[in-house]
């Protein structure tokens, strides 16, 4: 029994088509081992009978079913291109620190606006910023770069949150006590020196790095059996520790 | 049938034409195929679109016609093919 056709997006269709053509090439390559005459696909075109629909967000297509008339026609043509053309027309995938727009918790409208501008990753956004393009102007005031930059920073920080492995009380050369916080991804942003509050009293930071933070403590912090340490590493990373004295 | 198979099958012809009496051996170095096809597009469990296709199955003219899409393929002899 025939089932209803599934609605699909052009991007999904082309992706599947390319995967299928790769499989074809592999099949033909295997065949070429035993058969001296084998052929490679140079061009492939498809005229599809489809019914397009737009849900206000994206255009989807449904292939015409038997007996359905009045369908639109979409022609997809795939030609073989050289590796040089691929390099000239394809963006090099982002580095390991690059973030896809889809991974940033921003609203759908902003994502849609960014995609329309050809922005699919944070690196794309940086390139636009470096060229002094005012996003507010080109998007009718809907996108504010500074707000977006904050969201991106937050997302990046969420991917590498601070992790505390241990806290100890030590003495420096002049016998002054300090709390040594050891861990990972602690003070990673040099623009923001960490801020520490020990037992609800501000404490000075002696030194900070991604691996350790030294917090100066004194009598005014009234160290007791249970101590509360709040550490702000940057605007997107705040931790609260309960330090027990032994 | 997966779309990859239909393309591979269409190109699975013997491209050599031999006339032993005349002592002539020819080979096809380029071909263009245009064919109506039926498509069955389904999404699998992980949301990937699977393109299933088949050439026209029924040769009887009916009032309830399948929707035929058109497939055009240009293929050339592989560079490493023995065209000599």
**A114-126 pLDDT, tens digit each:** 777 777 777 777 7
Contact A47, B28 (CB under 8 A): no
Say what the pLDDT of residue A88 is: 67
Tell me if B66 and A66 make a contact (CB, 8 A cut-off). Answer: yes
- Domain stops at, among A63, A89, A115: A89
Residue A3 lies in a domain: no
Residue A147 lies in a domain: yes
Tell me if B7 and A13 make a contact (CB, 8 A cut-off). Answer: no
User: A36-50, A74-88, A204-218, B4-18: lowest mean pLDDT where?
Assistant: A74-88
Say what the pLDDT of residue B14 is: 82
- Model pLDDT for residues A138-155, shown as the tens digit of each residue: 777 667 777 777 777 787
Tally of residues, chain A? 246
pLDDT class for B84, splitting at 50, 70, 90?
A: very low
Distance in Å, alpha carbon of A82 to nearest chain B alpha carbon = 14
Residues A167 and A153 in one domain: no
Residue A30 has pLDDT above 70, yes or no: yes
d(CA A155, CA A186): 16
Distance in Å, alpha carbon of A151 to nearest chain B alpha carbon = 29
Say what the pLDDT of residue A95 is: 63
Distances (CA, A) of A185 to A93, A204, A237, B29: 25, 20, 10, 61
Tell me if A36 and B81 make a contact (CB, 8 A cut-off). Answer: yes
Antiparallel, parallel or unpaired: β B30-43 and A39-54: unpaired
Interface test with A, best of B1, B3, B14, B82 (most A CBs within 10 A): B3
- Tell me, what CATH number does A226's domain have? 2.60.40.10
Sorted by sequence, the CB contacts under 8 Å of residue A36 that are 6+ apart come out as B81, B82
Longest dimension (CA), chain B: 58
Residue B76 has pLDDT above 70, yes or no: yes
pTM for the structure as a whole: 0.55
Judged by CB atoms within 8 Å, which residues 14-73 of A form the interface with B? 15-17, 19-24, 27-28, 31-32, 36-49, 63-68, 71
Minimum CA–CA partner of B68 in chain A: A49
Residues A140 and A210 in one domain: no
Residues A85 and A118 in one domain: no
Say what the pLDDT of residue A1 is: 42
Q: What percent of chain A has pLDDT over 90?
A: 8
Q: Which of A186, A227, A222 is nearest to A207 (CA)?
A: A186
- Domain stops at, among A69, A89, A109: A89
Q: Which of B12, B49, B69 sits opposite A46 (nearest CB)?
A: B69
Residue A240 lies in a domain: yes
Q: Which of A23, A40, A66 sits opposite B78 (nearest CB)?
A: A40
Residues A154 and A181 in one domain: no
More confident call, A221 vs A81: A221
Query: Would you say the ipTM is above 0.85?
Result: no
Residues A186 and A135 in one domain: no
Domain total for chain A?
3
Residue A2 lies in a domain: no
Mean local confidence (pLDDT), B31-40: 89
Residue A134 lies in a domain: yes
Residues A146 and A167 in one domain: no
d(CA A6, CA B11): 29
Residue B32 has pLDDT above 90, yes or no: yes
d(CA B18, CA B8): 23
Residues A109 and A170 in one domain: no
What's the distance, CA B41 to chain centroid? 18
Residues A19 and A32 in one domain: yes
Most confident of A88-97, A159-168, B42-51: A159-168
More confident call, B26 vs A90: B26
- Model pLDDT for residues B45-57, shown as the tens digit of each residue: 877 888 888 777 7
3-state SS assignment for residue A72:
strand
- Model pLDDT for residues A46-58, shown as the tens digit of each residue: 999 999 988 877 8
- Cα torsion angle, A11, B57, A37, B75, sign: negative
Interface test with A, best of B51, B61, B62 (most A CBs within 10 A): B51
- Domain stops at, among A89, A110, A129: A89
Rg (CA), chain A: 29
Tally of residues, chain B? 84
Average pLDDT in chain A: 81
Residue A155 lies in a domain: yes
Domain span at residue A177 reads 163-244
Residues A181 and A235 in one domain: yes
- Model pLDDT for residues A192-232, shown as the tens digit of each residue: 889 999 988 899 999 899 999 999 888 888 888 888 999 99
Residues A78 and A128 in one domain: no
More confident call, A183 vs A172: A183
Q: Which of A165, A229, A38 is nearest to B13 (CA)?
A: A38
3-state SS assignment for residue A136:
helix
Contact A39, B80 (CB under 8 A): no
Residue A57 lies in a domain: yes
Say what the pLDDT of residue A82 is: 60
Q: Which of A135, A89, A146 is nearest to A113 (CA)?
A: A135
Contact A226, A240 (CB under 8 A): no
Mean local confidence (pLDDT), A168-189: 87
Tell me if B4 and A24 make a contact (CB, 8 A cut-off). Answer: yes
Judged by CB atoms within 8 Å, which residues 12-71 of B form the interface with A? 12, 14-16, 27-28, 31, 39-43, 48-51, 64-71
d(CA A168, CA A13): 58
Contact A40, A28 (CB under 8 A): yes
Residue A91 has pLDDT above 70, yes or no: no
Sorted by sequence, the CB contacts under 8 Å of residue A234 that are 6+ apart come out as A157, A187, A188, A189, A191, A192, A194
Interface test with B, best of A39, A61, A79 (most B CBs within 10 A): A39
Residue A209 lies in a domain: yes
């Amino acid at each position: 029994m025939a089932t209803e056709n599934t609605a699909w997006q052009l991007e999904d269709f082309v992706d599947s088509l390319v995967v299928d053509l790769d499989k074809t090439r592999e099949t033909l390559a295997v065949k070429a081992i035993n058969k001296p005459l084998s052929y490679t696909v140079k061009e492939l075109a498809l005229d599809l009978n489809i019914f397009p629909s737009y849900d206000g967000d994206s255009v989807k297509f449904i292939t015409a079913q038997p007996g359905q008339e009045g369908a639109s026609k979409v022609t997809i043509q795939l030609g073989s291109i050289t590796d040089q053309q691929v390099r000239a027309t394809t963006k090099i995938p982002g580095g390991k620190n690059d973030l896809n727009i889809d991974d940033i918790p921003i609203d759908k409208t902003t994502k849609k606006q960014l995609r329309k501008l050809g922005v699919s990753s944070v690196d794309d956004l940086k390139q636009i910023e470096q060229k002094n393009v005012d996003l507010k102007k080109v998007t009718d005031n809907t996108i504010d770069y500074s707000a977006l930059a904050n969201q991106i920073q937050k997302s990046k920080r969420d991917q590498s949150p601070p992790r505390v492995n241990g806290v100890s009380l030590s003495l420096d050369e002049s016998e002054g006590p300090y709390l040594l916080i050891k861990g990972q991804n602690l003070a990673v942003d040099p623009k923001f020196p960490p801020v520490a509050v020990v037992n609800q009293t501000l404490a000075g930071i002696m030194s900070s790095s991604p691996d350790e933070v030294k917090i100066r403590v004194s009598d005014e912090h009234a160290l007791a059996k249970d101590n509360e340490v709040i550490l702000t590493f940057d605007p997107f990373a705040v931790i609260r520790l309960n330090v027990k004295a032994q | 049938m997966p779309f990859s198979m239909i393309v591979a099958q269409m190109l699975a012809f013997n491209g050599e034409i031999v006339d032993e009496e005349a002592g002539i051996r020819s080979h096809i170095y380029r071909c263009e195929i245009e064919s109506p096809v039926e498509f069955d597009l389904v999404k699998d469990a992980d949301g990937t679109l699977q393109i299933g296709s088949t050439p026209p199955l029924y040769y009887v003219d009916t009032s309830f016609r399948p929707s035929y899409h058109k497939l055009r393929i240009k293929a050339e002899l592989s560079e490493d093919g023995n065209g000599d």
